[in-house]
Amino acid sequence: MTESQEINHLQEEIKKIKEELMMLGEDMRSGSLTRQYRDPKNKKGGYWSLSYTYQMKGKTEFVRPENLAKTKKQIARYKKFKILMAHWIDLSLQLCRLKNQPAASS
């Protein structure tokens, strides 16, 4: 693959990532859901808790049962966002290296 073909390929891959990001939607949140119990020994009084870090501070929120499915989707969407962004950065670094290489002399 020539250098220009490689550049075109990387640019196409970045374009695909941008399109996927646009399709993700707006509702997303970081964190992890855990099942907590008021009486952990007997596993009674269960509730869901969302823990996350925002602006370098740990936060915990209770999640109502009617919001559990929505919250799980928001977390999954955020994880997908992070994966896509990491891939985009990787491709962008490769693209920058290629573009910044001195031209091969013939």
Q: Is residue 59 part of a domain?
A: yes
Contact 25, 84 (CB under 8 A): no
Q: Is residue 105 part of a domain?
A: no
Confidence at residue 95, expressed as pLDDT on a 0 to 100 scale:
96
Q: Is residue 106 part of a domain?
A: no
Question: Of 90, 83, 78, whose CA–CA distance to 13 is shortest?
Answer: 90
Distance CA 81, CA 64 (A): 24
Q: Is residue 16 part of a domain?
A: yes
Q: Is residue 13 part of a domain?
A: yes
Domain membership of residue 19 as a residue range: 3-100
The residues that bridge with 47 in the sheet, in sequence order, are: 36
Would you state the structure tokens that stand for residue 76, as one six-digit string?
Answer: 């999954």
pTM: 0.82
Q: Is residue 14 part of a domain?
A: yes
pLDDT tens string 84-95: 999 999 999 999
Question: Of 26, 36, 94, whose CA–CA distance to 63 is shortest?
Answer: 36
| Confidence category of residue 104, pLDDT binned at 50, 70, 90 | low
- Total domains in the chain come to 1
**Statement: residue 82 has pLDDT above 70:** yes
pLDDT tens string 19-78: 999 999 889 999 999 999 999 999 999 999 999 999 999 999 999 999 999 999 999 999
Q: Is residue 64 part of a domain?
A: yes
Q: Quick one: 10 exposed, middle or buried, by C-beta within 10 A (0-12, 13-18, 19+)?
A: buried
Q: Which residues are CB-neighbours of 20 under 8 A, at least 6 positions away?
A: 84
Q: Is residue 88 part of a domain?
A: yes
| Confidence category of residue 1, pLDDT binned at 50, 70, 90 | confident
